Structure 1
């Protein structure tokens, strides 16, 4: 990083963005950019363009693992879902010309609401509202998995055959990519054993649906007011066609009364009213008509993915490619995730 160059400077050149918006939409009347530091993967920036409020999504600055930050995939999915019962932000424009701001990006309209991670909104702090938060979260996932992706023009979004096998392989490679940078700092126990167990226990058959790839409480926006209502499902960068049970396993890793990463996971799920994992699964099966079986495998897969994601965070920190305060903590956190995953595959921990 050049002397006196901020991380925001590396993410967007305001003059270049202004010129791009003027070419696309006419006089931009000035552009103001605000960095949103609550996300931990693709970067989110708030753009004020005249009287219009937009949100930009772009990959983080610096080297990233292949396919891990596909913002144009996000745009394609939310554009296809705009007229469905799955709530998404209104897409505005996508740009694949990396010469504009140094990376691909897209813009969408900004919405009002709460993205809930570390604090429970006061309006939901009753047993009844908490129950509804969990129910609307799982109901929306059931709706995603029930969509006819072919009618939406998403039949080429991915290859559902072999999806789960590829997830095991892909996240193993993502971890290895990051570990080239991090291995000199400390070891990650059991990682090879986890990969071997997952490869040997991939379910032979599974449903093929649209999957989000990163579905959890803080990747939806809850609309203002009560009762809780989701007004946008966010962060579709890993959206594809595949195994819906992988989405559930990942979500359950974050819906935990004993959260592994307090800076990344809600710490209030143990309060009265929030549905248990069993209640969420039962409701999902009822709403979607799909069964969630092989639970130990899918939760272990979710933790294996989490290990890789967090190790990439740690690698970005060590490489100087992030200003996120969470990332340096991953040096200690990732080994703990791996130990918990080992307990799960050994049958020593309830799931």
Structure 2
């Protein structure tokens, strides 16, 4: 259903902006909130001729410093246009106050299916689910193979050890976004700091790579990777750990953030790691550390999503977003994974 008065959009200003871009927009524009994203807000924009584009803006309300930077996301997507990484085509960026109260990014609409809900994935044949699952670590390998110099992304972020940077940043984010005290997160941060592996490689890191952030084609191939908000430079295995953190299995004792991967056909977490190692040739010996760090970070991200939804209901995702019970489950998985890795 089309949203006639979409939250956070000055539709008159945006219509004038898009008209000036000479991209063939005809007649009135309609806007619809899409995706199950819990951070930046994403809208489908369509015109009277049936053409479609995608618009992104930061969440509504008070935001944490340096978070939800869509202008930075626009830079990354633009740099990846002619690489092996499948991404939408970037069209324009504006922060003109006559158009918007926050930066806006306009990009192409990519046809395909996002497996962001079990009801959607249930309609996909098991063999195609398998293909999508195998494509996930293979696509990560393409991201990690990006030439940072050639794309101009070599200065995107610090080159200092990634684990230390992540622990420092997300510990600070926790202090600013928490809705309650969870002492075990501080214990985890200390253990992760103590056992951080030596960084021997620097690559582009997506930072939030999971099923909700990829668009799949008819045969299960990944036709676009989206939501580059957390992209940075760091250890490529950190992305593998993040994929595992989001990848729930039916046998898990505690609930995960997403349950799509529990359906039959999707590969196991071990198979994801094996596929990544085989397709890239990388040693994955430290992946359990990165899995634990990703779960710790995910619990902090989820707490921030909960805080934003509590502050402004318009930021709430389609599925309602995380609850304290779900976040506690993620924390429990982080502890168990850290213990299994011998770091707690």
TM-score, normalised relative to structure 2: 0.89
Separation of aligned partners in 1, 2:97 and 2:214: 28
1:80 aligns with 79
Matches within 5 A, 1:142-221: 142-179=141-178, 182-183=179-180, 187-221=181-215
Give 1:50 deviation, angstroms. Answer: 4.9
1:342 aligns with 335
Choose from 16, 26, 29 the match for 1:19: 16
Separation of aligned partners in 2, 1:41 and 1:98: 22
Instruction: List per-residue Cα deviations over 1:173-226 (Å, max 9, x = no partner).
Output: 1111112xx12xxx4241111111111111122321111110112210001x22
Instruction: List per-residue Cα deviations over 1:285-315 (Å, max 9, x = no partner).
Output: 1211222222332111101111111110111
2:37 aligns with 39
Contact 2:36/2:212 (8 A) holds in 1: no
For the pair 1:110 / 2:109, whether they are aligned, the reply is yes
2:246 aligns with 254
Separation of aligned partners in 1, 2:129 and 2:174: 35
Separation of aligned partners in 2, 1:297 and 1:168: 13
Structure 2 CA distance for partners of 1:80 and 1:325, relative to 1, 3 Å: closer
Choose from 298, 313, 326 the match for 2:305: 313
Give 1:99 deviation, angstroms. Answer: 5.2
Contact 1:189/1:335 (8 A) holds in 2: no
Contact 2:56/2:70 (8 A) holds in 1: yes
1:3 aligns with none
Count of aligned pairs between the two proteins = 334
Instruction: List per-residue Cα deviations over 1:82-135 (Å, max 9, x = no partner).
Output: 111111111110113355221111001111111002225466423x33332211
Structure 2 CA distance for partners of 1:49 and 1:253, relative to 1, 3 Å: same
Separation of aligned partners in 1, 2:233 and 2:152: 12
SS at match of 1:25: coil
Instruction: List per-residue Cα deviations over 1:204-261 (Å, max 9, x = no partner).
Output: 22321111110112210001x22x1111001011112111111110100111213855
Separation of aligned partners in 2, 1:98 and 1:214: 30
Contact 1:116/1:218 (8 A) holds in 2: yes
Give 1:325 deviation, angstroms. Answer: 5.9
Structure 2 CA distance for partners of 1:268 and 1:280, relative to 1, 3 Å: closer
Contact 2:141/2:276 (8 A) holds in 1: yes
Give 1:22 deviation, angstroms. Answer: 3.1
Separation of aligned partners in 1, 2:261 and 2:273: 19
Unaligned runs of 5+ in 2: none
Separation of aligned partners in 2, 1:267 and 1:18: 36
Instruction: List per-residue Cα deviations over 1:152-187 (Å, max 9, x = no partner).
Output: 1211111232222110111111111112xx12xxx4
Separation of aligned partners in 1, 2:110 and 2:165: 35
Separation of aligned partners in 2, 1:8 and 1:242: 40
Separation of aligned partners in 2, 1:37 and 1:232: 14
SS at match of 1:265: coil
Give 1:345 deviation, angstroms. Answer: 2.0
Structure 2 CA distance for partners of 1:244 and 1:8, relative to 1, 3 Å: farther
Give 1:7 deviation, angstroms. Answer: 11
For the pair 1:125 / 2:125, whether they are aligned, the reply is yes
Separation of aligned partners in 1, 2:156 and 2:291: 25
Structure 2 CA distance for partners of 1:202 and 1:10, relative to 1, 3 Å: same
For the pair 1:288 / 2:280, whether they are aligned, the reply is yes
Separation of aligned partners in 1, 2:101 and 2:239: 31
Considering only aligned residues, what root-mean-square deviation do their CA atoms show, in Å? 2.5
Separation of aligned partners in 1, 2:78 and 2:163: 26
Unaligned runs of 5+ in 1: 1-5
Separation of aligned partners in 1, 2:278 and 2:341: 29
Contact 1:175/1:307 (8 A) holds in 2: no
